[in-house]
Amino acid sequence: MQLLKKRDREDFMVEAESLQYDEFPEFDTPCRSTDLNGKGAFIAKPDRSLAGSDVRVPPALPACVRLALEQLKCFEVVEHQFGNWGITFSNTVAIQPSNPAFLNTSEKTILMGAPKSGLIEVTFKHPVHWVSGLVTSSRRTVLSACDLDGNSIAQAEMPAPNLAGSNSPIAPATPLRVTAPNIYRITFYAFDGQLVVDDFTVGFN
C-alpha cells in the first residue's frame, strides 16, 4: 500500500460560529477544535517524553479532547504519546496515506492498525464517557467499548467496507462513536482488513 504521497481534497469544514467553550486554566493549550457533533474540543498534543514513564494525568480534564494526530511523524509507532491525558494506544502506527482508497478528511497524519491489520486498541487511565473517530476500512468494522473489568458495554458498527472509489454505499471517513459510563478500553476491529482512523476524539463527561 502506498503511503507517502498526499492527494488534493477539499478540507473537512465545521461550522464554528455557534460554539461555546468552557475555560480550563489548568491546560496550557489555547488550541480548540470540534468533535463529531460540532461541540468544543481541546486539542491534545503528543508528548514523546512520556515513553516508558508513568503517565502524568492533569488534575482536571476538559469535557472533550481531540488528539492532534497531525503532529505525529509518518510511520511513528503510537503508544504513550498522549499518556498525559491517560490515553495509551497499542497496535497503532501514524501514516499519511497516498493510496486513493484511504483518503482522509484532513489530508494529514492519521492512524492505521499495524502490525496486525485491522485492529486499533486504546486504553484509558481514567474512565471516559464516549469515543469517536472517522473510519475508512476495507472490511466491515466494529468499534467496541469495555469497562474496567473487560466487559463489553457499548458497540457501534460500520456494516460494510467504505474505501473511496469502491462504489460502497458508505462514504469514506464515516464517523463511528460509542457512548457509555466508565469506558476504560475501546477497540476498532476490521476483521483483518486495512483500517485507518482520523479525528480521534474523547469525551470525559
Per-residue confidence at 27, pLDDT binned at 50, 70, 90? very low
Per-residue confidence at 105, pLDDT binned at 50, 70, 90? low
pLDDT given at position 22: 33
Please enumerate, as own/partner, the contacts of 5-9 that have beta carbons within 8 Å and a separation of 24 or more.
5/98, 6/96, 6/98, 6/107, 7/98, 7/100, 7/103, 7/107, 8/107, 9/103, 9/105, 9/107
Average per-residue pLDDT for the chain = 80
Contact in structure between 95 and 108 (CB atoms under 8 Å): no
Least Cα distance to 127 among 49, 34, 203 occurs for 203
Which single residue is written with the C-alpha cell 460502497?
A: 168
Q: Which of 93-97, 101-105, 132-136 has the lowest mean pLDDT?
A: 101-105
Per-residue confidence at 57, pLDDT binned at 50, 70, 90? low
Q: Give the number of other Cβ atoms within 10 Å of residue 63's Cβ.
A: 17
Per-residue confidence at 60, pLDDT binned at 50, 70, 90? confident
Task: Please determine, looking at this structure, whether the domain spanning 32-203 carries the CATH number 2.60.120.
Answer: yes
pLDDT given at position 196: 96
pLDDT given at position 104: 54
Q: For residue 144, list its beta bridge partners.
A: 155, 187
Q: Is 31 helix (H, G, I), strand (E, B) or coil?
A: coil
Tell if the pTM clears 0.75, that is, is over it: yes
Between 15 and 128, whose confidence is greater?
128
Q: Average pLDDT of 70-93? A: 95
Q: Is the pLDDT of residue 102 over 50?
A: yes
